Structure 1
Amino acid sequence: MPRTTPRERRTDALVVGGGLGGISAALTMLRNGMNVVMTEPTRWIGGQLTSQLVPLDDHRRVESIGASATYRELRRGIRDYYRTWFPLNAAAAGHDTLNPGAAWVSPLSHDPRVGLSVLEALLMPFQASGQLTILTETEPVSAQVAGDVVEAVTFRLIGDDDPITVSAPWVVDATELGDLLDLADIEHVTGRESKEMTGEPDAADTADPLDMQSVTWCFAMDHRAGEDHTIDRPADYDFYRTWEPPAWGGNRILSFNRPPANDGRPRGCKLVVNDDDDPFAIDTDHRNMPPTVELWTYRRISARQHFQPGTFDSDVTIVNWHMNDYTRGPIFGVPDAADHLRGARQLSLSVLYWLQTEAPRPDGGTGWPGLRLRPDVAGTRDGLAMAPYIRESRRIQARKTIVQQEISLEIRGEDAGAEPFADSVGVGHYFWIDQHAGTAGRKGKGGRPHPFQIPLGALIPVRMRNVLPACKNIGTTHITNGSYRLHPVEWSIGEAAGTLIALCARDGREPHEVYESEALTGELQAQLRAAGVPLEWPAGMRW
C-alpha cells in the first residue's frame, strides 16, 4: 500500500532514533510545548528495552534514589500494566517492587511488549493531538548541513522508494550507532583510545577505532517439556561449535565456561530450566554474584510462579549471555559490516541449537529439545530480536570527555567517590564499568564505578550548534561508555538534552552558550531539578 506520509516536513525538533534516550528527549520537549518528529528504523520504539530484547538494567538503589521522576513514571507504568491486565497471584499483585520476570539481573524485568505499550501510552496524548509524529521503519540516509548547523535530514522508509526530508532548528541524534554523526560529518570517535590519549590506567597502549564492544543478537525462549522444537542446524554451527574467542581464555564460546575474571579466576555458569524457585528470593544485588551463575533466571522476563495457575506453562527468558556476545568484527565502519550482522545472528542461532542438542544437563543428559523460540515476544518471524543489542556506538567529540579515573572505585579509592561535576545534568550508576570483550580480541576492563554524575559538557559537541546526542553517543571513552550506556543513564541523557533544547528554543540561545555560562547552566539545572531530575547523589554515597 502506498505511503501517505508527506515527503517534506518541518517541525520544532527532530529526534533521529526512537530508543530510550530519544523517547526521553522527545517527551521532555513535548511537555515543554514543542512539536516533535521522531523516527525509528524498527517497528518498535524503545531501543534496547524493546526491539533489542534487553529489559531494564538498573542499579541496586533505583527503587529509592538515583532516577528521575519520568524514569520512575516508566517503571511504575510497567508494574501497573501487570497489575491491571495480567492474572498475577495475590503475593505478586500486592508486592510493592514487583519484578514480573524475577530476574537477578535487574529489579524490574518484563516482557518487551509491556515496555512498548507503556512507552506508547506516555507518548499517545501528544500523537493524538498532532504535536508528535512518530515514523517507524524509517532510517536516516543523508543530512543537509550549512556550516555548523544541520538544517534537515533525509530518511528512507523501509519498503518505500520515495525519501522523506524533515527540517528542524533542533536535531537530536538518538540513533543506536550515532548514525547522524557520520551522515552530518560531526566530529566523533569510535572504538578504543590509547592510554596516552585519555590517561586511563586500563586503556590500551594503542588506539584502535575498530575495537568496539561486542554486540548480542538476543532472543526469547521458553521450554515445553516432552516436545521437540529443535531448529534446523544453523549454517555456521560447525564453526561456532568449536570456536574459542581470544578473550575467552581458551574456552569454547558454546560452553558453560564463561570468560575468566580480570584477575584470571575461572568462572562458570549453569542452566536450570523451569526450576520451581521462589521468585521473591531472587537476589538482584550483583555484589553477591557467585562464581557460577544461573542463566535461566538471569534475564527471565516472565516467572510463571508470579501468575495464577495455568497462565504460563513455562517461564520465558531472554538469551543475552556470554555465549552470544559477537566479537568477530564491528557492525559499522567497515566494508564487511553486513557480514558481521549475519555472523551475530548465526552465533545466536548456534547457541540455541547447541542448547537443544548438545549442552550438558544437570541430570547428566544432553540438550533440551523442548527449548522453543518465542517470535511473538520478539515481534519477528524468526524469533530473534528486531535489532542486535548495541553496547558501543560512535561518540561525539565533546567539550568534556568522561574518563575512567573520574568514576572508578579502584582508581579513586573506596572513600573518594566519583569526581563531582559542577555542570551535572543527571546521575547514574551500575554495578560495573561493564565492558564486554571487543572486536579486536581484547578482554574488556573497567572495574567498579562509584555513583556518578552526567556532566553537561559531555553532551556539547565541539563544533555543531544545533545537534545534541541523547544516548550512548555522548562524550565518554571506550571504557566509561561501559557505565553510561545503561537504560536509566540513557534516559537521563535524553531528558537533559530535551530540557536544554527547550530552554534554548524559548530564550533564543545555543547549547554552547548555556554550557559556557555558569548562570545559564544554573538555570538549566534548576529546570531539571524542578522536573524531578536528581543532579547529585546523597553525600557519602559509594559503590
Structure 2
Amino acid sequence: MTELRTEILIVGGGLGGVAAALAALDAGRQVVLSEEYRWLGGQLTSQAVPMDEHSWIEQFGATARYRRVRDGIRDHYRRWYPLTARAMADPTLNPGQGMVSRLCAEPRAGVAVIEALLAPHRAAGRLTLIQPAVAVAADVDGDRVRAVTLRRLDDGSEVVVAADYVIDATELGDLLPLTGAEYATGFEGRSDTGEPSAPDEPQPANQQAFSWCFVVDHVDGDHTIDRPAEYDMWRTQQPSYWGAPMLSLTGPDPRTLETLTRTFTPHAARPAVLADQGKDPGDRELWTFRRILARDNFTPGAFPSDLVLVNWPMIDYLGGTLVDVSTEEAERHKSRARQQSLSMLYWLQTEAPRPDGGTGFPGLRLRGDVTEGPDGLAMAPYIRESRRLLTEQRVTEHDLSIALRGHGRPFTTPESVGVGMYRIDLHPSTGGDNYLDVASAPFEIPLGILIPRRLENLLPAGKNAGTTHITNGALRLHPVEWNIGEAAGSLAAFSLHRTTTPRAVRNTPALLQEFQSLLTDTGVELHWPDVTGY
C-alpha cells in the first residue's frame, strides 16, 4: 500500500473534478486527482455526451476556464482537421452541426483539450493523477476527513491519500457514504421541500434513468451486429406512458408528454436554424439531434459519413439504479443497459422504417473506436443523478420555476459563486415516472450548496451538490457541473490560503466578499447581465 500526502484530493475526474483541479492548481496548490475511467472529462468524454448548454452560451453565462475548453475544442478541429474554408472561418464552429448544442464534437476532442490544460501542472509536479482508480474507504476523525483509500483498477493496488481538503467529484457521490456524510437520493417528499412537482413522501430509490450511449455512422455494406442476447425482451419493453415499444422511433415528447414519432434519416441536412434548446429541443430528426461530426464541415471525401451519438429516450435504462446497491446488482444493471443500447442499434439496422418504405439500415456501423468502451459503446454510462449532499442551503423548484416565481428573471443570491441555466429536465425514472419538464429561469449558484451540514473539509463538485431531485434536472449539465467544480476547487484553495474553513467563508461577510472577488478575478461570472429576454 502506497501513502501520499497532498493539500487537496479530488476523487473523480469528470468535468467538475477537472474544473476543481484547475482552479486549485492555478492557485498554487498541490492536488491529487483520481478517475475511474481511462479518459478525464466524464459526461463530455467517457460518457460521450456533447455539451448541453443554455441559449446565451456564446455571449455570457460561463466561466473563463469553461470557455477555454470550448475554444480549445474548436481550435482542435481548426488545427488538425481538413475543414472547409467556410467552416474554418466560422468563429462559432460546430463540428457536428448537432441540434442539441452549438458545440457538438467527438469525445476525444474533449480529452485532448483537458489533457493539454492539465499538462503544465503535471510537468511541474503540482498534480498527481491516479487513474484508473476508485475510492474504497475513508478515514474520518469527527467532522474531518483525514484520508481516502483509492484502489487502482489495473492492478488492484491501493493508495491512501491524506489531504487537508477532499472534493467528491464522482458521478454518483461515492465519497458520501464512505465518509458518513448526510445525503439524499431519489425524490424528496413534498413534506420536506414543499415542491409541487415532488411526491407527498420521499422516494429515495426512485431515480432518473441512466443511459449507455454509443456512436454510429452510415456507410456502404452490411454492418449488422450479432443479435443481442436480450433482444426479444427489449423488443417488447413498453412503459405504460410510452405509446409504443421503446425500441421504435415513437415515445413521449419530454415537454408535452404527448406521443411523438421521430424521424431517422442518415446524412440528413441540418435545419437552417441555430441549435437552441430554449426554443427547439431539436430531437425530431434523430440523425442531426446529437451529431458530433458533420462531413459537410470538411473537405469532400475526408470522411465517408457523419458521426452520430445515440443518446435518445429509447436507451434510457429504467430497470434499476446504481446508487446504494450491491456491486453485483450495479454490474447487472450496467450489463442490461448495454444490452438495451445494443438492442436499439440492432433494431435500427434490421427493423427501423426507412424513408424509402423499406425497413432496417444495415449500413449503420457501430463506431466503438470513437468511444473505446465495452461492447463498442461509450466507456462509461451517462449518469443523470447522484447522491446529493445535505448542505447549508438547497436549491428547490421554488427558486427556478418560472410558473412558481411568476417571472423569468434570474434567481439571485448574495452568496453567488457562479451562474447557470437549463430547464428542469428530468428523464423517466426507475419508479415509473414519465418525463418532468419545468420552464426555469437563469440562476446564480449559492455557495451554501457546497457546504455540508456537518463535515468541515469535504466539498461536492458536481451532481452531488445541494439540489433536490427536481432541481438536479437544471444543474446537472456540462457548464453548471464545471462551475460547481471550479467553485469547490477555488474554495478549498482559498480556505488554505486564509487559514479558515469553507463554512466560515460563507458565514463571514468580509471573507465571502474576498472570495467572490477572487472568483471574479479568475473569470467566474457571479451574476447574469441585465438584458431583456430572460
TM-score (norm 2): 0.97
Contact 1:25 1:495 in 2 (8 A): yes
- CA distance 1:261–1:176, change in 2 (3 Å): closer
- What's the CA shift for 1:164? 1.0
2:411 maps to what in 1? 419
**1:258 is matched with which residue: 239, 251, 263?**
251
Using the alignment, how far apart are the partners of 1:400 and 1:444 within structure 2? 26
Pair 1:60-2:52 in alignment: no
Cα distance in 2 between the residues matched to 1:278 and 1:192: 38
Q: Secondary structure at the match of 1:434?
A: strand
- 2-structure distance, mates of 1:269, 1:475: 36
One-letter amino acid matched to 2:412: P
Structure 1 residues 290, 377: CA separation in 2 closer, same or farther (over 3 Å shift)? closer
Q: 1:72 aligns with which of 67, 71, 82?
A: 67
Match of 1:499 in 2: 490
Which aligned pairs between 1:174-189 and structure 2 lie closer than 5 A?
174-189=169-184
Structure 1 CA distance for aligned equivalents of residues 389 and 533 of structure 2: 29
Determine helix, strand or coil for the equivalent of 2:325: coil
Alignment correspondent of 2:105: 110
| TM-fit CA distance, 1:381 | 5.6
SS of the residue corresponding to residue 534 of structure 1 reads coil
> Could you tell me how far apart the structure 2 residues matched to 1:368 and 1:12 are?
54
Task: Determine whether 1:368 maps to 2:361.
Answer: yes
**Aligned-pair distance for 1:162?**
2.3
Partner of 1:445: 436
| Displacement of 1:260 | 4.4
Contact 1:45 1:136 in 2 (8 A): no
- CA 257–37 in structure 1, closer or farther in 2 if over 3 Å, else same: same
1:3 alignment partner in structure 2: none
Matched-pair contact (CA < 8 Å) for 1:278–1:305: no
Unaligned stretches of 5+ residues in structure 2: none
Q: Which residue of 2 aligns with 1:49?
A: 44
- 1:469 is aligned to 460
Matched, 1:206 2:207: no
Contact 2:275 2:282 in 1 (8 A): no
Equivalents in 1 of 2:304, 2:253: separation in Å?
36
2:485 matched to 1:490?
Answer: no
Q: How big is the shift at 1:163?
A: 1.0
Contact 1:268–1:291 (CA under 8 A) maintained in structure 2: no
CA contact (8 A) 2:424 2:471 kept: yes
Give the letter aligned to residue 12 of structure 2: G
Residue of structure 2 equivalent to 1:532: 523
Aligned to 1:89: 84
What is the match of residue 351 of structure 1? 344
- Report the Cα distance in structure 2 between the residues aligned to 1:504 and 1:231, rounded to whole angstroms: 54
Question: After the TM superposition, which of the residue ranges 160-169 and 102-111 deviates more from structure 2?
Answer: 160-169
Q: Say whether the 8 Å CA contact 2:419–2:528 is kept in structure 1.
A: yes
Alpha carbons 1:257, 1:267 under 8 Å: kept? yes
In the TM superposition, residue 40 of structure 1 has moved relative to its aligned partner by 0.3
Q: Give the secondary structure class of the aligned counterpart of 2:34.
A: strand
Q: Distance in 1 between matches of 2:282 and 2:523?
A: 38
Instruction: Specify the code of the residue in structure 1 equivalent to 2:419.
Output: V
Is the 1:216–1:320 contact (alpha carbons within 8 Å) kept by the matching residues of 2?
Answer: yes
- Deviating more after overlay: 499-508 vs 155-164: 155-164
Aligned to 2:299: 308
Q: 1:162 to 1:535 in 2, by over 3 A?
A: same
| CA deviation after TM superposition for structure 1 residue 55, in Å | 1.0
Query: 1:220 aligns to what SS in structure 2?
Result: strand
Native 8 Å contact 2:97 2:292 kept in 1 = yes
Amino acid at match of 1:122: L
Q: Does the 8 A contact of 2:100 with 2:290 survive in 1? A: yes
Give distance in 2, aligned partners of 1:243 and 1:447.
27
Query: % of aligned pairs identical?
Result: 50
Match of 1:428 in 2: 420
Q: Could you tell me how far apart the structure 1 residues matched to 2:447 and 2:278 are? A: 30
Q: Which moved more, 1:209-218 or 1:252-261?
A: 252-261
Q: Is the 8 A contact 1:451 1:541 kept in 2?
A: no
Residues 100, 281 of structure 2: 8 Å contact kept:
no
Task: Map residues 389-404 of structure 1 onto 2, 5 A cutoff.
Answer: 389-404=382-397
Provide the C-alpha distance between the structure 1 equivalents of 2:288 and 2:137, rounded to a whole number of angstroms: 43
The count of residues paired between Structure 1 and Structure 2 equals 532
Report the alpha carbon displacement of residue 429 of structure 1 after superposing the two structures with TM. 0.6
Q: What letter is aligned with 1:208?
A: Q
- In structure 2, what is the Cα distance between the partners aligned to 1:220 and 1:195? 39
* Contact residue 252 and residue 258 of structure 2 kept, 8 A: no
What's the C-alpha RMSD, in Å, of the aligned pairs?
A: 1.5
Q: Deviations over 1:19-71 (max 9, x none)?
A: 00000000000001001110000000000000001011111100001011111
Q: Measured at CA, do residues 182 and 368 of structure 1 come closer, stay the same or move farther in structure 2, by a change above 3 Å?
A: same
Q: Per the alignment, do residues 394 and 56 of structure 1 end up closer, same or farther by CA in structure 2, a change over 3 Å counting?
A: same
What does residue 155 of structure 1 align with?
150
CA-CA distance at 1:386 after TM superposition:
0.9
Q: Which residue does the alignment assign to 1:378? A: 371
Determine the C-alpha separation between the residues in 2 that align with 1:161 and 1:485. 31
Aligned with residue 316 of structure 2, among 322, 325, 340: 325
| Residue pair 1:359, 1:367 contacting (<8 A) in 2 also | yes
- What CA deviation, in whole Å up to 9, does each residue of 1:286-332 have, x standing for no partner? 34437970001111110000001111100001000001011111112
Instruction: String of CA shifts for 1:469-516, please: whole Å, max 9, x gaps.
Output: 000100000000001001000110011111111110011101010111
Match of 1:480 in 2: 471
Q: Does 1:8 align with 2:3?
A: yes
CA distance in 2: counterparts of 1:425 and 1:444, whole angstroms:
30
